[in-house]
Amino acid sequence: MPARILDRAASCPTPAPRRATLSLRTKDDTLLIVIGAGLLLSLAMGLRQSLGIFMQPITEDLGIEVAQFTVAIAVQNLAWGVFQPFAGALVPRIGFRAVMLIGAVLYASGLIGLSMATSALHVMMTAGLLIGPAMGCAGTAITMAVTSRAVPAAKRSLYLGIISAAGSAGALYAAPVGQWLNTSIDWHAGMISFAALACLMLPAAWIAGRIDRRPVPPPPASATEAATARAALHAAIRNPNFVVMALAYFVCGMQLVFLTTHLPAYIALCGLDPMLAATALALIGGFNIAGSLFFGWAGGRVNKQVLLGLIYVCRSLVLAWYFTELPTPATTMIFASVMGFLWLGVGPLVAGSVVDMFGLRWQAMLQGLAFMSHQFGSFTGALGGGWIFDLNGNYTLAWQLGVGMGLTAGVIQIAFALSRPAAPRGAPA
């Protein structure tokens, strides 16, 4: 009898196949996590970037001023920026999945509420105070922190570029759908369709939340990973490279949100087809895919901080070219294509820089801290653009300020990066 038992035991599978199964499951999890994070960011960014399409019909239907609508967008960006570090700090306590699900629920609720708006205050409460915190829980910093933890260090910069590209791809479907419904039916129908798309964020957040099962990988050699949130914040504030990057990020946010909020109105003021604005936003999203992939790849090979400065300088030059001439459909398409290539390429570069400097444990919080500066710039771009337009009847002063500040920030970023490299040569990307 004991001999039979021993024979059966000898015929049982050895531990090696079991380890192989677990390894395969981990690889499957990695793919699912990256897909979930990419879909979540695609929906969150695509819907938000397309809200400018509804500015004219909403202001005309509700009898409110352009500046009042842009106040709501400004509040959204400010709430996103302020809430982002807190959302990142919550991750070690309640996990990525819970944070992202909260963001998905807030996002869908904000869009449903906006579809029923009857006043400027209602627009601000829904588009601003609901969608803003939702972006903090389901936007760039959180999804990139999920991806950074899921993928190997050697391929991290490339994968961050892929996630950034997924974020920009949302405008490819959101802008045309929203504009078509807005033109064919009314803006209420377009907003309801956006809310339906936002409901897809819930399964995406659940799938990406599988990352909570993973332990935190060891930090790269160049990082100074802190044990507590307070220590990590102190380390970031005392790091000159981080401070300069965060301050330059302000100008990035100001330029981008000025365009997403005011480009449709500018195109309409110039007598061009309103559908051109949706096409331009879709082109920005399409070319942003190529740009995000390129800068994600380049960030693993070239100084990330220098690349950031080059993006700011090039963007500013393109802005100056477009706004100094009366726009045409052809120049608008060229402008949207080039600007799209330079759009969210900053995402993988900033995220990778934070990991290089501080490791993965507090990446969501510290990237959120830098992003707070970006969102103060977004607040300025949305609100300032509307205020200047109401004051002067045109956008001339607004784009001039954006170009001047962008060139200044880009040059300072490049000069500082070359004089004080953030990480030793050959450090993990």
In 2-50, which ranges are E strands? none
Residues with Cβ within 8 Å of 275's Cβ and at least 6 positions away in sequence, in order, are 179, 183
Amino acid, single-letter form, for residue 278: A
Residues with Cβ within 8 Å of 64's Cβ and at least 6 positions away in sequence, in order, are 58, 119, 120, 123
Check: CB of residue 131 under 8 Å from CB of residue 107.
Answer: yes
Which range is least confidently modeled, 121-130, 218-227, 267-276, 347-356? 218-227
Instruction: Give Cα separations from 3 to 6, 9, 11, 15 (angstroms).
Output: 5, 10, 13, 22
Amino acid, single-letter form, for residue 318: V
Band (pLDDT 50/70/90 cuts) for residue 174 is: confident
Predicted confidence (pLDDT) per residue in 299-310, tens digit: 888 899 999 999
For the chain, the average pLDDT equals 84
- Per the model's pLDDT, the better-predicted residue between 169 and 48 turns out to be 48
**What pLDDT is recorded for position 221?**
58
First to last CA, the chain: 59
Q: Report the percent of the chain where pLDDT is more than 90.
A: 36
Which range is least confidently modeled, 21-30, 271-280, 321-330, 368-377? 21-30
Band (pLDDT 50/70/90 cuts) for residue 156 is: confident
Residue 293 clears pLDDT 60, i.e. is over it? yes
Residue 186 clears pLDDT 50, i.e. is over it? yes
Q: What is the DSSP letter of 239?
A: -
Mean pLDDT of all residues in 257-275: 81
From the candidate CATH numbers 1.20.1250.20, 3.20.20.70, 3.20.20.150, 3.50.50.60, the one assigned to the domain spanning 32-213+225-419? 1.20.1250.20
Band (pLDDT 50/70/90 cuts) for residue 225 is: low
**What pLDDT is recorded for position 200?**
95
Band (pLDDT 50/70/90 cuts) for residue 223 is: low
Residues with Cβ within 8 Å of 71's Cβ and at least 6 positions away in sequence, in order, are 120, 124, 128, 383, 386
The residue extents of the domains of the chain are 32-213+225-419
Band (pLDDT 50/70/90 cuts) for residue 409 is: very high
**What pLDDT is recorded for position 84?**
87
Residue 243 clears pLDDT 90, i.e. is over it? yes
Which range is least confidently modeled, 64-78, 133-147, 307-321, 333-347? 64-78
Roughly what angle, to the nearest 10 degrees, separates helices 66-94 and 55-62? 120
Reference 340, options 410, 291, 406, 381; nearest CA is 291
* Alpha carbons 335 and 155: distance in angstroms, whole number: 31
Reduce the DSSP state of residue 427 to 3 states and report it. Answer: coil
Mean pLDDT of all residues in 116-123: 91
**What pLDDT is recorded for position 185?**
83
DSSP code string of 102-163: HHHHHHHHHHHHHHT--SHHHHIIIIITTHHHHHHHHSHHHHHHHHHHHS-GGGHHHHHHHH
Check: CB of residue 208 under 8 Å from CB of residue 146.
Answer: yes
**What pLDDT is recorded for position 25?**
44
Reference 304, options 248, 258, 253; nearest CA is 248
**What pLDDT is recorded for position 406?**
93
Band (pLDDT 50/70/90 cuts) for residue 123 is: very high
Q: Report the percent of the chain where pLDDT is more than 70.
A: 88
